[in-house]
């Protein structure tokens, strides 16, 4: 699942992730390279079933792509 999400633009099933309800302090890091991505203080409940974050640790921490699946546009 991690490979599909990180390398193939896959998505895990909503409300299934182990970090969905986590309230621990700390940093969320990339499962592939270990780079810091998001601080726990930036995490919020978006109501979508996936953890959401307001901003990365640094703007260069990640790359975004536009995706146009059948149900709409997402970044």
Break the chain into its structural domains and give their ranges.
21-58
User: pTM for the full model?
Assistant: 0.76
Question: Within a 13 Å sphere around the CA of 53, how many CA atoms are in the beta-carbon half?
Answer: 18
Quote the CA–CA distance of 33 and 41 in Å, as a whole number. Answer: 22
Is the CB of residue 45 less than 8 Å from the CB of residue 75? no
pLDDT value of position 9: 80
Measured over the CA atoms of residue 33, residue 21, residue 42 and residue 46, the dihedral's sign is positive
Residue pair 21/49 in contact (Cβ under 8 Å)? The answer is no
Segment 8-57, tens digit of pLDDT = 888 888 888 787 888 889 999 999 999 999 999 999 988 888 888 999 99
Cα 32 to Cα 48: distance, rounded to the nearest angstrom? 24
């Amino acid at each position: 699942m991690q490979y599909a999400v990180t390398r193939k633009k896959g998505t895990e099933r909503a409300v299934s992730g182990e970090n969905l309800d986590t309230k621990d302090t700390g940093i969320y890091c990339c499962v592939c390279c270990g780079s810091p991505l998001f601080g726990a203080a930036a995490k919020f409940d978006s109501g979508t079933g996936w953890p959401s974050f307001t901003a990365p640790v640094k703007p260069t921490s990640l790359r975004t792509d536009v995706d146009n699946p059948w149900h709409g546009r997402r970044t």
